[in-house]
Amino acid sequence: MTARIGVVTFPGSLDDRDTQRAIRLAGAEPVALWHKDKDLHQVDAVVLPGGFSYGDYLRAGAISRFSPVMESVIEQAKAGLPVLGICNGFQVLTEAHLLPGAMLGNDHLHFICRDQKLRVENAGTAWTGDYRQGQEIHIPLKNMDGRYVADEHTLDELEAEGRVVFRYVGFNPNGSLRDIAGITNEAGNVVGLMPHPEHAVEPLIGTGRTDGLPFFTSILKKLVGA
C-alpha cells in the first residue's frame, strides 16, 4: 500500500511544494489539492502548508477557513482523517475550530525567521509517533502571527489532557502562552504547529538536520500499519 497524502494549495501558500517533497522523501505519495476543489481525491491524510493564504489580509487563516476544500477537510477530520497544519495551516485549523485557541501577532511585532529548539511533549499523535517523549529537536521557524493564545480554562485542559504536542525550549520566539508551539485535538489525528518540519528533512538545507522528517514517516507508519 502506498499512502497518499494531500497538500492543499491556497492563494498565497509558500511551502506546498516543500511539503510535497518531504512527503515523497518519507516514502509516501504527495497529492496536490486545490483550495477551490471540495474533492480530496481519496487521500489518506491532509497537510495544510505554511504561507500567507489570501495575503492574511483579514486575519491569518481566516479566509482560507472558508475555502471549498476546507468543508471536506473539516468533515473528514472530525471522522478521523489525519490532518497536519504547519504555520499558516495551524492558523487555518484554529479558525476552522478543529483546534482550540487563536493565533495573534508576535509579541515583539516583528517577523521572525530562525532555527528553533522544541521539546516533544506528546509522541502519541498520528504525526509524532516516530519521536520520543521529551525529545528535543531543531526545526526552522518563520512567522509574523505565531503567538498562540487561549483562555486559562482551555490552556489547563490542553495541559491536563496531554494535548500540548510541542513546546518552545530556551527561547519563546513569539510570546505564545505557556511556550506552546503545537497542539492536537482530543483524538490525536489533527495536529497544528508553527515551526516548519518540511524545511528540516535533508541535511543540506534548513537546520542541516533531519529533525522534521519523523512528522512524515510517523503518518506513513500510522497509515500503512508498519
* Digitized pLDDT (tens) for each residue of the chain, 226 residues in all: 689 999 999 999 999 999 999 999 999 999 999 999 999 999 999 999 999 999 888 888 889 999 999 999 999 999 999 999 999 999 999 999 999 999 999 999 999 999 999 999 999 999 999 999 999 999 999 999 999 999 999 999 999 999 999 999 999 999 999 999 999 999 999 999 999 999 999 998 877 899 999 999 999 999 987 5
Which listed residue (35, 95, 138, 198) is catalytic?
198
Residue 1 pLDDT: 66
Residue 126 pLDDT: 96
How far is residue 142's CA from residue 33's CA, in Å, rounded to a whole number? 23
Residue 207 pLDDT: 79
Which listed residue (87, 95, 121, 199) is catalytic?
87
Which listed residue (35, 121, 138, 196) is catalytic?
196
Known active-site residue 41:
no
CA nearest to 140, candidates 114, 166, 165, 110: 114
Residue 3 pLDDT: 94
Burial of 225 (0-12, 13-18, 19+ CB in 10 A): exposed
How far is residue 214's CA from residue 107's CA, in Å, rounded to a whole number? 30
Residue 225 pLDDT: 75
Cα end-to-end span (Å), the chain:
11
Known active-site residue 161:
no
CA nearest to 90, candidates 82, 78, 98: 98
How far is residue 142's CA from residue 195's CA, in Å, rounded to a whole number? 7
Known active-site residue 157:
no
Residue 226 pLDDT: 53
Q: Residue 196 to residues 12, 48, 51, 54, 96: CA-CA distances in angstroms?
A: 16, 11, 10, 19, 20
